[in-house]
Amino acid sequence: MVRFFSWLVGAGFVGALLFALVSSISGLITEPPQPTVTEEFHKEPKPLSLASDGPFGKYDNQQLQRGFQVYKEVCAACHSIDLVHFRDLEGIGYNKAEVKAIADQWVIEQPTINPDTGEASTRKNLPSDPFPRPFANDVAARAANNNALPPDLSLIVKAREGGAAYIHSILTGYEKPDPEIAKKYPDFEVLEGLHYNPYFPSLAIAMAQQINSDGQVQYVDGTKPTIDQMSTDVTAFLVWTAEPKLEARHAAGMAAVIFLLIFCFLTWGAYKNVWRNVEH
């Protein structure tokens, strides 16, 4: 009797699950879900090709230096790169004297404590210092940016789906809202303080277009500073901040592959030598 009731309860449970499943499938067929405005008008990142792409990729130091110049003149006013030190710039082709000059002339000085008074103070940056933050804390950052907190850019390429292509698309993707949005979704609006960008997941981003005109940055090497060129260069620089040891990793990986190939060949040779006199 107990076994019968146990079977009955189990059958009822399975039946309820099947009924719920069939009802759900039937509902999806008769009334398929309608796409939301963000699903319909959001765009995937545009393809971007950088010298560092692929297993044999290497950084273009000239491009990285241009990207650093864009970061310095455009992005550094709001965005930090906490994980990068001034001395790390030697990795993109600057010599020690140039790094020292960059650190010494950096607009934001290093926060410190006055040893004589014990009060908060600042001092000139040293090559061993990390790049100082543009704001004292998150509260100050929000107060200066309409309550939006500018993210640190050290690992932004790794932290965003789409990586470098996404960052480049965001920088170059500002435009007026698609007229079709107003027709299909009359309730949609870009709130005050936000800016339409179809590459951003919500279509509206707090950051205004920062790289907004050709010639905004005058490159030292004479490269024509178009919006796309500046956006590509600063994206390449952010790829480097996220993975400064990329070239060493690629070299180590290639050495490992070559070692394994040689090892496999020697193993095969040893096998043939040991079993050469054994009849099959």
What residues are designated binding site for heme c? 75, 78-79, 207
Token pair, residue 42, equals 């959001």
Backbone angles phi, psi at 121, to 5 degrees: -150, -175
The one-letter code for the residue type at 258 is I
Distance CA(259)–CA(253), nearest Å, equals 10
Distance CA(29)–CA(36), nearest Å, equals 18
Q: Which residues belong to the annotated binding site? A: 75, 78-79, 207
Residue 169, burial from CB neighbour count under 10 angstroms (0-12, 13-18, 19+): buried
Distance CA(251)–CA(259), nearest Å, equals 12
Cα-to-chain-centroid distance, residue 239? 8
